[in-house]
Amino acid sequence: MRRTLATLALTALAALAPAAVSAFPEDGRPVTIIVPFSAGGTTDVSARLLAEFLEPELGVPVVVVNRPGATTQIGNAELARSEPDGHTLALASLPSLAMTYLDEERQAPYDRESFTPIAHYISGANLLAVLAGSPFEDVNDLVAAAKESPRTVRMGTVGLMSNGHLPGVALEEETGAEFAFVHFDGAAPLVTALLAGDVDVAINGTQTTIPHIDAGAMRAIGFFGARRTAFLPELPTIREQGIDLSAPSSFAVIGPAGMDPAVVEELSAVVGAVIARDAFQERLTALSLESEYMDPAELEAFWSDFDARQARLIALVREEQ
Amino acid sequence: MSENFALLGAGLAAALQPWNLLAAFAGCFLGTLVGMLPGLGPSAAIAILLPITMAMDPTSAIIMLAAIYYGCQYGDTITAVLFNTPGTGAAATTAVEGHQMARQGRAGTALAISAIASFFGGTVTIFALALVALPLTSLALRFGPPEFFALIVLSLVLVVTLGSNSILRGLIAAVLGLIIAMVGTDPVMGLPRLTFGQMHLLDGVAFIPAIIGLFGVGEILRNLENPKGSFEPVATSKLSLTRDDMRRSAPAIARGTALGFAIGIVPGLGTIPAAFMSYVTEKRLSRRREAFGTGVIEGVAGPESAANAAANGALLPLLTLGIPGSGVVAILMGSLMMNGIIPGPMMFTEHGDMVWTLIASLYVGNVILLVLNLPFIPMWVSILRIPYGILFPMILGFTVVGAYSLANSRFDIGLMAVFGLIGWAMRKLDIPLVPIIMTMVLGPLMEGGLRRSLEMSQGDFTILLTRPIAATFLGLAVAVLVVPPLLGLLRRRRQPVETGSGA
């Protein structure tokens, strides 16, 4: 009897085996998502949320590992070195990742070809914030002032060559205006500087700006996204204000180069299914984040577009120096 | 103002619920244990224990986190005093005098005065916050990049002139620290600087592995040279605070509290400069200046109260602008955010009860720490009875774990080892360690402050002199450098006349 059961089980397994497209995920072997930032940040939180929902779908543990440092270069390098079997992935911040290999001065041990696009996950953008009493009512006021007397309008960013700096450079390139950039270390000192009047305008994230807008201390005059954000629906994009420019930033699930296309498709589909779920969306909204799914092919196209734009801006900054 | 007190009272009442008190006790104890492991500071402990607290009721969770924070700081003081192995910069100052006291068999006294000084610094400044939070808002905003730069220049001048018994040795240490601080990505061009092609150095030398190496590993290497050990018998491990100890400590604690609070209010400066400034102030004012470095109790009491006062002062930007003033406050804020409270200027009006509970819980953490740790001090001190042969490998093991765990990076373990050798060499050459720590912390801040000032003025240096606060600090810095030698010169000129007339 026992023997028959065992045989039955084996037959059943054998029958199932051809149904599985590939050997992924290997039974009981965890999938690791490398987060190239420290624990507690936006990237980390969104990776952990994704991991929580991916785990039941994949049927193996999904572990988030923080490998912070060198503007994501350390985590990215680790991903590039890892086995392309689908068990090691990373949540990449596209602007940061692209920056590390597009700027040759950084001597990153990898390039675009070291990675496999899997799924676009989160889309966001910075905004332009001014004090409530500022004379700038919209982006065109700001640009006009910076054109009239170049390099006098002080524009604060969250860091040199950062995701907050390059949109400002793009604005200069597109309009011919010249700003006096002041680079801070992150959002907290930037917000302080804007409140103190040490800068005239700040390129900052929605999360850290909205509380000050609600308090009546700041105003937003333009959004760098390709479309408006649900968190500030009244705020027009820069493009809507007649300047042909958008500078969205993305979190995407990526893997090392050389992955089996079938595994890539399977992973991407699972991520897409998770993102589509209401329970997931609810949690994401609570974190003030907006999702945008793209399949591997769409992400690849988006990524090369992004690289081209980013490379031009980096070259512009390096030229100025 | 009176409204603030009422809210603080309500917060205290919430914090004193039995369940919350239990959370505070548990947090304090856990925090002290974690803090005793070199390299695992408050940020690490809170980050590790955050998932546990997420399952708790928000108020209890915040109280527990605050208690962990205080416990950690005290745990760090314990290892700083006992083994000269501080895991943070603030405790590094305590280690200077505190460890010397331990070597004389007065470890219990040093730990007791640390607990009392922290308690005093914490208590007074919590009430100061409730009293003056709003009027000081504009002050915090007046501290732009030029003011920041000028204040750091003043601090560095004080470090070099007062930080050690020999200006030359202090200067060597300070410059070494500045060179180490320059490693990383330069802030003007974004190019790698002194990184030797090492990707891991693009963010600069990781501070905590460096400090554990300089102090912890360096100390062990030094002790290995005389394996018999040099601690006095531990018979004197009780908390023998004499009347003389109290008399010396009281004014130091009062000054440390005031100084620490003032420094803490400046967003981004933190507890390390506060502790160190208090140390140099005590040394400057002391009548037995030469004795500093040999185990002087006011050299423990002042910095400990200053560090705690600064930690509370750093809450001010949080209270008034919703900007977390320190890394730990940022993590506490993270726990608020998970409860749907977004930090910002409206936080106070919209969620005042929660915020004041946070502040009250910081205070309760302070009290519990004193109550819990004073009786435990003999136990901590008795760790010194463990033979070196067992103790040192244990400490070394913990330092490796501590260095690795910050960024899960093996590179940091190697970094720690290199700094261990540097620390050992500096002990051999009698070069003070604390100025290195100060310049490693302040160097990048100074560079950033100057760079931002010049970006604001488009390269015009007069921005440093036209803003009154900045100009005052720079003036003081020049005075500190110029006045003592001038006085010395005058005295010398007068002396020959006197001796001449005498002869």
pLDDT at A261: 94
Give the domains, in start order, of chain A with CATH numbers.
Answer: 29-124+248-319 (3.40.190.150), 127-247 (3.40.190.10)
Question: What is the mean pLDDT of the segment spanning A101-113?
Answer: 87
pLDDT at B51: 64
Checking if the pLDDT of B225 tops 90, the result is: no
Please answer yes or no on whether B456 and A199 come within 8 Å at the CB atom.
yes
From chain A, pick out residues whose CB is under 8 angstroms from the CB of B407: 38, 66-69, 74
Checking if the pLDDT of A130 tops 50, the result is: yes
Interface of A with B in 45-74 (CB under 8 A): 65-71, 73-74
pLDDT at B235: 45
- In the three-class reduction of DSSP (H, G, I as helix; E, B as strand; rest coil), residue A141 is classed as helix
pLDDT of B152-192, one tens digit each? 898 888 877 776 667 788 889 989 999 999 998 887 777 88
Greater model confidence, B194 or A252:
A252
Please answer yes or no on whether A211 and B324 come within 8 Å at the CB atom.
no
The most confident of A30-34, B12-16, B153-157, B240-244, by mean pLDDT: A30-34
pLDDT at B11: 76
Give the pLDDT band of residue A76 (cuts 50, 70, 90).
very high
Share of chain A above pLDDT 90, in %: 61
From chain B, pick out residues whose CB is under 8 angstroms from the CB of A66: 407-408
pLDDT at B331: 64
What pTM, to 2 d.p., does this model score?
Answer: 0.79
Residue A189 distance to chain B (closest CA, Å): 8
A159 contacts A167 by C-beta, under 8 angstroms: no
Checking if the pLDDT of B40 tops 90, the result is: no
Selected residue of B208, B321, B466 to mutate for chain A interface (largest A Cβ count, 10 A): B321
Place of tokens 């982006």: A139
Domain residue spans in chain B? 2-492
pLDDT of B389-403, one tens digit each? 788 888 888 888 888
Please answer yes or no on whether B187 and A103 come within 8 Å at the CB atom.
no
Question: What is the mean pLDDT of the segment spanning A253-259?
Answer: 96
Q: CA-CA distance, B211 to B38, in Å (whole number)?
A: 10
Question: What is the mean pLDDT of the segment spanning A169-192?
Answer: 90
A67 contacts B407 by C-beta, under 8 angstroms: yes
pLDDT at A131: 96
Checking if the pLDDT of A136 tops 80, the result is: yes
First vs last Cα of chain A: how many Å apart?
81
In this complex, is the C-beta atom of A105 within 8 Å of any C-beta atom belonging to chain B? Answer: yes
Q: CA-CA distance, B15 to A9, in Å (whole number)?
A: 58
Q: CA-CA distance, A231 to A203, in Å (whole number)?
A: 17
Decide the pairing of beta strands B184-185 and B192-193: antiparallel
Residue B91 distance to chain A (closest CA, Å): 24
Selected residue of A73, A183, A218, A288 to mutate for chain B interface (largest B Cβ count, 10 A): A183
Checking if the pLDDT of B335 tops 70, the result is: no
pLDDT at B347: 67
Q: CA-CA distance, A64 to A83, in Å (whole number)?
A: 17
pLDDT of B85-129, one tens digit each? 887 777 888 888 898 888 888 888 898 999 999 999 988 988 888
Question: Tokens for B280?
Answer: 């140099």
CA B84 to chain centre: 15
Minimum mean pLDDT range among A74-83, A159-168, B64-73: B64-73
